[in-house]
A and B are shown apart, each in its own frame.
Chain A
Amino acid sequence: MDGIHDLGGTQGFGHIDVEADEPVFHHPWQRTSFALMMATQIILRSHNADEYRHAIERMDPAHYLLCDYYERVLTGTVSLLVEKGYLSREDVERRAGGVFELAGPVSDRPLADLTPQPEARFNLGDRVRVLNISPSGHIRAPKFCRGHEGTVIHRAPKFRFPDTSAHDGERRKEHTYHVEFKSKDLWSDRDAANDSVIVDLWDSYLEFAL
Chain B
Amino acid sequence: MREETERNARSKASIEQRVAATKEALIDAGRITQADLDQFASMAEDWRPENGAKVVARAWTDPDFRARLLEDATSACAEMGYAGPQGEYIVALENTPDRHNVIVCTQCSCTAWPVLGLPPDWYKSPAYRARVVREPRKVLREMGLWLSDEVAIRVWETSAETRYMVIPLRPEGARSLNEDALANLVSREALIGVALAAPPAIQSPDNVGITSHSF
When C-beta atoms are compared, the residue in chain A nearest to B161 turns out to be A159
The answer to whether B154 touches A198, judged by C-beta atoms less than 8 angstroms apart, is yes
The answer to the question of B18 belonging to the interface, with a C-beta cut-off of 8 Å to chain A, is yes
Query: What separation, in Å, do the CA atoms of A8 and B108 have in the docked complex?
Result: 10
Interface size class of chain B, counting residues whose CB lies under 8 Å from the partner chain: 35 or more
Does B1 have its Cβ within 8 Å of any Cβ on chain A? Answer: no
Question: Which residues of chain A have C-beta atoms less than 8 A from B158's C-beta?
Answer: 200
Instruction: Choose one: A11, A16, A20, A35; the contact of B212 (CB below 8 Å).
Output: A20
Give the docked Cα–Cα distance between A154 and B73 (Å). Answer: 14
* In the assembled complex, B134 has its CB within 8 A of some CB on chain A: yes
List of A residues within 8 angstroms of B210 by Cβ: 18
B residues 13-27 near A (Cβ < 8 Å) are 13-26
Check if A34 sits within 8 Å of B152, measured CB to CB: no
Report whether A44 and B20 are in contact in the complex, using a CB–CB cutoff of 8 Å. no
Would A39 and B107 be within 8 Å (CB), given that A96-B18, A101-B12 are in contact? no
Residue of B nearest to A4 (CB): B126
Cβ of A92 < 8 Å from any Cβ of B? yes
A19: CB under 8 A from chain B?
Answer: yes
- Structural contact, A35 and B139, CB atoms closer than 8 A: no
A208 at interface, CB cutoff 8 A: no
Please state if A199 and B157 are interface contacts (CB–CB under 8 Å). Answer: yes
Proximity bits, A49-61, B CB within 8 Å = 1, else 0: 0000100110000
User: Looking at B8, B37, B106, which has the most chain A CB atoms within 10 Å of its CB?
Assistant: B106
B202 within 8 A of A: no
Q: Are B31 and A44 in contact (CB under 8 A)?
A: yes
A84 to chain B: closest CB distance in Å?
Answer: 11
Q: Are B17 and A40 in contact (CB under 8 A)?
A: no
Residues B12 and A176 in contact, CB atoms below 8 Å apart: no
Is B169 in contact with chain A by the CB < 8 A criterion?
Answer: no
Are the CB atoms of A194 and B22 closer together than 8 Å? no
Q: Is the CB of B117 within 8 A of A24?
A: yes
Given contacts A35-B37, A36-B37, contact A16 B160 (CB under 8 A): no
Q: Which of B38-46, B56-64, B75-83, B175-183 contacts A (4 or more CB under 8 A)?
A: B38-46
Determine whether A196 belongs to the interface, using a CB cutoff of 8 Å to chain B. yes
Whether B106 contacts A201 by the Cβ 8 Å rule is no
Known: A74-B19, A92-B18. A19 touches B121 (CB 8 A): yes
How far in angstroms is the closest Cβ of chain B from A25?
8
8 Å CB interface, A1-23 against B = 5-11, 13-22
Q: B107, B128, B214: which contacts A22 (Cβ < 8 A)? A: B214
Determine the residue in chain B with the shortest Cβ distance to A159: B161
Specify which of B131, B149, B155, B214 is in contact with A16 (CB 8 Å cutoff): B131
B18 to chain A, nearest CB (A): 5
Least CB distance from A176 to B in Å reads 4
Contact A22–B161 (Cβ < 8 Å): no
B211: shortest Cβ distance to chain A, in Å? 11
B31 CB, nearest partner CB in chain A, Å:
5
**A67 cross-chain contacts in B, Cβ below 8 A:** 15
Whether the Cβ atoms of B153 and A100 lie closer than 8 Å is no
Contact with B along A118-138 (1 / 0, CB 8 A): 000000000000000000000
Closest 9 CB pairs of A and B: A8-B106, A98-B13, A194-B152, A96-B13, A95-B21, A200-B160, A96-B21, A38-B40, A13-B127
Extra contacts, 12 of them, besides A13-B127, A16-B142, A144-B133 (Cβ < 8 A), are: A11-B130, A18-B210, A22-B214, A24-B45, A32-B20, A35-B39, A36-B37, A71-B15, A78-B22, A93-B21, A186-B133, A196-B154
Enumerate chain A interface residues (CB-CB to B < 8 A): 5-11, 13-22, 24-25, 27, 29, 31-36, 38-40, 42-44, 46, 53, 56-57, 65, 67-69, 71, 74, 77-78, 81, 86-87, 91-93, 95-101, 140-142, 144, 154, 156-157, 159, 162, 176, 178, 180, 183, 186-187, 190, 192, 194-202
Tell me the B residues contacting A by CB distance below 8 Å: 7-8, 10-26, 29, 31-32, 36-41, 43-45, 85, 89, 91, 104, 106-109, 117-118, 120-122, 124-131, 133-137, 139, 142-143, 149, 152-162, 189, 210, 212, 214-215
